[in-house]
Amino acid sequence: MKTTLKIEGMSCQHCVMHVKKAIGALPGVSGAEVNIGRAEVDYDESKTGKEDLKKAVEGAGYKVVG
């Protein structure tokens, strides 16, 4: 399953690393292409849901807007 998250609050490469790490720590995530303002995530939906991705990003201090 592939999904794209639109993220607010990211401003630099540090934010990119932070988001990538938060998403990558979730079970079932096999890849994440993260740029400022957006993340494309490849994940196994039997292990992780979009809500979990959202929570991980928000837990890292950013806001998911779509």
Interatomic CA distance for residues 14 and 19, integer angstroms: 9
**Could you tell me the smallest distance in angstroms from the CB atom of residue 34 to Cu ion?**
12
**Element containing residue 30 per DSSP (H, E):** strand 29-35
Least distance CB 2 / Cu ion (angstroms) = 25
Q: Give the total residue count for the chain.
A: 66
Min separation Cβ 18 and Cu ion, Å: 7
Single residue of 5, 7, 15, 22 touching Cu ion by CB under 5 A: 15
Q: Is 66 in the site for Cu ion (CB under 5 A)?
A: no
∠ CA 43-13-22, rounded to 5°: 35
- Tokens (6 digits) for 9: 């609050």
Residue 12 interacts with Cu ion (CB under 5 A): yes or no: yes
Positions in the binding site for Cu ion (CB under 5 A): 11-12, 14-15
